[in-house]
Structure 1
Amino acid sequence: MNDRIKIKETQLLSDSWYVLNKVTFDYLRKDNTWETQIREVYDRGNGATILLYNTERKTVILTRQFRIPTYLNGNTDGMLIEACAGLLEKENPEDCIRRETEEETGYVLKDVRKVFESYMSPGSVTEILYFFVAEYSKDMKISDGGGLKKEQEEIEVLEVSLDEALAMIDTGAIKDGKTIMLLQYARLKNIL
């Protein structure tokens, strides 16, 4: 517990898709005065993401799918290139990312390695994201992937070279934060 925080009220604003609360709290400032603050906090659960890479081919697997928030914010067609990811569904992050990888890309992974975790938008979203990497090979592919119809997913699987993916950051073709972080991690750690 943090002695500098006193939650005064939590008001539910929405629980239609995920949970949006309005939180009123007192915060003890460094000058020892209490200040009342109000924030809206979006709780969508925690998630996991992974960069699949092939050392022999020097390639990575990415996905492309429609994202309504990006469309509403000026992304002309709403399509976003991303690393495979998903929300934890009462499972641990490693089990989640294995499941999501198979659903989205069609690959069944042998070994995954957690590399770090990060809050992606801590000013308003509670989610912590667990980042993984894993090597893939053609013999691990058991389906076309594409996501689950019951989750209204229509995901395109992309295989590109790491250099091409990094260049896509420079051109703006890749704008997704988690994907940029994983691609930069791959470059910094020389995994390919």
Structure 2
Amino acid sequence: MDNSPVRITAEETLSDNWYVLKKYSFDLRRRDGSWQAQTREVYDRGNGATILLYNREQRTVLLIRQFRMPTFVNGYEGYLVEAAAGLLDNASPEERIRLEAEEETGYRVSHVEKIYSAFMSPGSVTERIHFFIGEYRPGDRVGEGGGLEEEGEDIEVLELGFDQAIAQVADGTIVDGKTIMLLQYLELRLLKGDFL
């Protein structure tokens, strides 16, 4: 006997252009034991990883600034200040985030620490993001960063004071969820005396 609370009754691919958008029809077992028919659209873009690079001595963080079309069409200017991030593309989260950090910021970090994983928009997107922190030093810079032009990236690298970055969360300059989570994680560790 199947004890699953979900029975998928139909699956339809709506788009397979950039990533995959599907429409699922399913029966969901409610808490009272009854079954309810539902339909949802699910966007599958793969899983990703993100990292906040920080410098303990300088009390700085490395962030990036890039254009994000979904934010633009939602009434925002479109340019977001973010932590470096990328899709896994069949790599391990640690391997991918090391490559993304170097590609986007120009810094090669020797040690990264995974802190947690989270679903960022579970109502419609399958993506799970793996969150990392890593300490950088000026000598770790091996390139300019900026991302890959062939992937449409035109990334500005920003080195901000930690207090300045926290203030930008409060004043609405930094509005990217993953970046806010990473900065607040570092702030909590700071308050406990673990960092900076």
TM-score (norm 1): 0.98
Q: CA deviation at 1:174?
A: 0.2
Find the residue that maps to 1:189 and give its secondary structure.
helix
Distance 1:58 1:132 in 2: 18
Partner of 1:103: 103
CA shift, 1:2, in A, is 5.7
Q: CA offsets per residue over residues 118-165 of structure 1, 9 Å max, x none? A: 000000000000000000001110111000011010000000011000
Once the 2 structures are TM-superposed, how far is the Cα of residue 32 of structure 1 from its aligned partner?
1.3
Is 1:61 the equivalent of 2:62? Answer: yes
Q: Please state whether the residue corresponding to 2:180 is helix, strand or coil.
A: helix
Which runs of 5 or more residues in structure 1 are unaligned?
Answer: none
Partners of 2:159 and 2:32 in 1: how far apart?
A: 54
Secondary structure at the counterpart of residue 21 of structure 1: strand
The aligned residue for residue 155 of structure 1 is 155
Q: Does 1:35 align with 2:15?
A: no
The 2-side partners of 1:40 and 1:10 are apart by: 10
CA distance in structure 2 between the partners assigned to 1:32 and 1:79 by the alignment: 47
Whole-Å separation in 1 of the counterparts to 2:147 and 2:4: 44
Counterpart secondary structure, 1:181: helix
2:85 corresponds to: 85
SS at structure 1 position matched to 2:150: helix
SS at match of 1:145: coil
2:118 is aligned to: 118
Which secondary structure state, in structure 1, belongs to the residue aligned with residue 17 of structure 2?
Answer: coil
Query: 1:32 & 1:136 partners in 2: Cα distance?
Result: 53
Matches of 1:53 and 1:123, distance apart in 2: 32
Task: Give the structure 2 partner of residue 8 of structure 1.
Answer: 9
Instruction: Percent identity, please.
Output: 55
Q: Which runs of 4+ in 1 moved over 2 A?
A: none
Looking at structure 2, the residues matched to 88 and 10 of structure 1 have their Cα atoms a distance apart, in angstroms, of: 25
CA distance in 2, matches of 1:2, 1:115: 33
Counterpart Cα distance in 2 of 1:70 and 1:3 = 36
Distance in structure 1 (CA, Å) of the matches to 2:57 and 2:3: 49
Once the two structures are superposed, residues 95-131 of structure 1 have per-residue CA deviations (whole angstroms, 9 ceiling, x without a partner) of: 0000001110001110000001100000000000000
Structure-2 separation of matches of 1:49 and 1:4: 32
SS of the aligned residue for 2:71 comes to: helix
Give 1:89 shift. 1.0
Alpha-carbon distance in 2 for matches of 1:68, 1:129: 20
Q: Partner amino acid for 1:33?
A: S
Q: How many residues align?
A: 191
